[in-house]
Amino acid sequence: MTKLTLASYPHMLGFEQLERVMERTAKAGNEGYPPFNIEQTSDYSYRITLAVAGFAEQDLSITVEDRQLVIRGRQVDTQEERIFLHRGIAARQFQRSFVLADGVDVGEALIENGLLHVDLTRAKPEKVVQTIKIRKGE
Residue 19 confidence (pLDDT): 73
User: In order of start, what are the domains of the chain with their CATH numbers?
Assistant: 31-77+88-124 (2.60.40.790)
SS3 of residue 91 by DSSP? coil
Q: Could you tell me how many helices (H) and strands (E) the chain has, helices first?
A: 1, 7
Distance between CA atoms of residues 27 and 93, nearest Å = 19
Distance between CA atoms of residues 116 and 110, nearest Å = 6
Residue 35 confidence (pLDDT): 92
Q: What separation in angstroms does the CA of 103 have from each of 2, 18, 65, 75, 129?
A: 34, 14, 15, 33, 19
Q: What separation in angstroms does the CA of 85 have from each of 82, 88, 136?
A: 10, 10, 86
Distance between CA atoms of residues 103 and 91, nearest Å = 36
Residue 37 confidence (pLDDT): 95
Residue 133 confidence (pLDDT): 92
> Could you tell me the mean pLDDT of each successive run of 10 residues in the chain, 138 residues long?
64 68 62 89 95 92 92 81 80 88 93 96 88 89
Residue 134 confidence (pLDDT): 93
Q: Does the pTM of the predicted model rise above 0.75?
A: no
Residue 89 confidence (pLDDT): 75
Residue 120 confidence (pLDDT): 96
Distance between CA atoms of residues 71 and 60, nearest Å = 7
Q: What separation in angstroms does the CA of 61 have from each of 24, 85, 103, 137?
A: 21, 32, 22, 59
Residue 123 confidence (pLDDT): 87
